[in-house]
Amino acid sequence: MPNTQSAPLNYVPGEHPDLKPPIGQTGLLLWVRKNLFSSPFNIALTLATIYFLYVVIPPMVNWLFIDSVFNAGSRDECRELGKGACWGFIGKRLGQFTYGFYPIEERWRVNLTFVLFALALLPLLWEKMPRRRMLLWFSLAFPFIAMWLLLGGFGLESVDTDRFGGFMLTMVIGVTGIVFSLPLGILLALGRQSGLHFIRWMCTGFIEFFRGVPLITLLFVASTMLNYFLPPGTTFDLLLRVLIMVTLFSAAYIAEVVRGGLQAIPKGQHEAADAMGLKYWTSMRLIVLPQALKISIPGIVNTFIGLFKDTTLVVIIGLLDPLGIGRASLSDSKWQGLSTEVYVFIALFFFICCFSMSRYSIYLEDKLHTGHRNE
């Protein structure tokens, strides 16, 4: 590019002047221009968004943090101290939100279960953990240890399940549902793909039924109608009934996800397994399922997230999950009218759990993606 104004451009080789790139072609300015102001339409969109954020964010931050009250004894006290959220209420009830009505002197058992749960989860999630194999056995045993710790018996004072509540109840239902629905779902998917007509017909009917009705009606069935199907006089625990229904419900969804994975496996894989002389279960275990499950991981985790979120529905049949505790606390005349605070708090808990699950699933998907990438 000839420059007519300045001195003649006779650069000596190796002694070029270090000129800065033109302004606006690198760094922040370029990024802003390319991503926010690339066209008149984009400029308008950006300005509209900034205005929207300006209208929404400051009042929200004010309400959540700046004007909020973290320590108060009642709603009126809160209102005197500040106009924002009354987190003092949540703070006072935090014990109930976590443990429900679990006896206070036995709460250490719930805490221990949470700690053990974290320990059991670690080898499952972290593949390069030292001594992973040994710890996996512990993970397998964890549900039974947790059951003993929470319910009691064998040396511990026994606690009725109707005292379970809060986040602890959410975890109990969520973890039990996840642990049992995965194997059941895989079996159902295999059944639906099976060549045996009666088995296929039965599994299809089961899956379609459970996917066709809302979970809440199934919970109603569990709470009102299940007794009719048992010998007269038998009663069994409401929580157990709920657990069974939740497990069956999410097993049906997992079955459909796994079926998608099974259908994506080329027929050649089945034929190769047959040619090697593998029996049905061996070929499934060694050849087909590892591939099918790998494809269906995102779907399976999504079903788990759905199951975890659906645990809130138990409040409708009277179990005291966080929503139940929240509603019970709201009926206290000292704290009436603070529903927004309660629901925002519960939403935050679920958001943290479910968002980390979905992040982990994306990480896993990336790690297991051993094939060629398109991009």
Partner 1 sequence: MAQTLEDLGPPSVGPPKSSFSIGKIWTDKRSRGIVIQVIAMAIFCAIVAYLAANVVKNFEELGKPFGFDFLKQESNYDINQTLISYNSQSSHARAAVVGILNTLLIAVCGIILATILGFILGVLRLSPNWLVNKLAYCYIEFMRNVPVLVHILLVHGILVHSLPHPKNAMNINDTLFLSNRGFYTPQPLFQPLFWLVVAAFVIGIIFAFWYRRTARIKQEATGEQSPVFWVMLASIIGLPILAFFLTGMPIDWQFPEQGRFNLKGGMAIKPEFMALWVALSLYTAAFIAEIVRAGIEAVSHGQTEAALALGLPRKRTMNLVVIPQAMRVIIPPLTSQYLNITKNSSLAIAIGYMDIVATIGGISLNQTGREMECMIIVLGLYLTFSLTISTFMNWYNKRIALVER
Local structure of 78: helix, strand or coil: helix
17 versus 233: smaller Cβ distance to partner 1: 233
Smallest separation, CB 243 to partner 1 (Å)? 18
Residue 177: count of CB within 10 angstroms of its CB: 26
Q: Which residue has the tokens 């087909």?
A: 288
- Interaction between residue 282 and partner 1 (CB under 8 A): no
Smallest separation, CB 235 to partner 1 (Å)? 12
Smallest separation, CB 371 to partner 1 (Å)? 18
Residue 114: left (phi > 0), alpha (psi -120 to 50), or beta? alpha
33 versus 367: smaller Cβ distance to partner 1: 33
- Interaction between residue 240 and partner 1 (CB under 8 A): no
195 phi and psi angles, rounded to 5 deg: -85, -10
Smallest separation, CB 36 to partner 1 (Å)? 6
- In the 8-state DSSP scheme, what is residue 67? S
Half-sphere CA count of 179, side-chain side, radius 13 A: 19
- Interaction between residue 206 and partner 1 (CB under 8 A): no
Residues 6+ apart with CB under 8 A from 107: 95, 99
Binding residue (CB under 8 A) for partner 1 from 148, 152, 220, 265: 220
- Interaction between residue 337 and partner 1 (CB under 8 A): yes
Q: How far apart are CA 269 and CA 291, in angstroms?
A: 10
Smallest separation, CB 131 to partner 1 (Å)? 33
Q: How far apart are CA 177 and CA 132, in angstroms?
A: 24
Q: Which stretch binds partner 1 (CB under 8 A): 71-79, 281-289, 345-353, 364-372?
A: 345-353
Q: Which stretch binds partner 1 (CB under 8 A): 105-113, 134-142, 283-291, 353-361?
A: 353-361
241 versus 309: smaller Cβ distance to partner 1: 309
- Interaction between residue 312 and partner 1 (CB under 8 A): yes
Residues 6+ apart with CB under 8 A from 273: 282, 283, 286, 287, 288
Q: Which of 255, 353, 338 is nearest to 299 (CA)?
A: 255
Q: How far apart are CA 139 and CA 144, in angstroms?
A: 10
97 versus 142: smaller Cβ distance to partner 1: 97
The residues that touch partner 1, with contacts defined as CB under 8 A, are: 35-36, 38, 42, 45-46, 49-50, 52-53, 195-199, 202, 208-209, 211-217, 220-221, 224-225, 227-232, 305, 309-313, 315-316, 323, 337, 339-340, 343-344, 346-347, 350-351, 354-355, 358
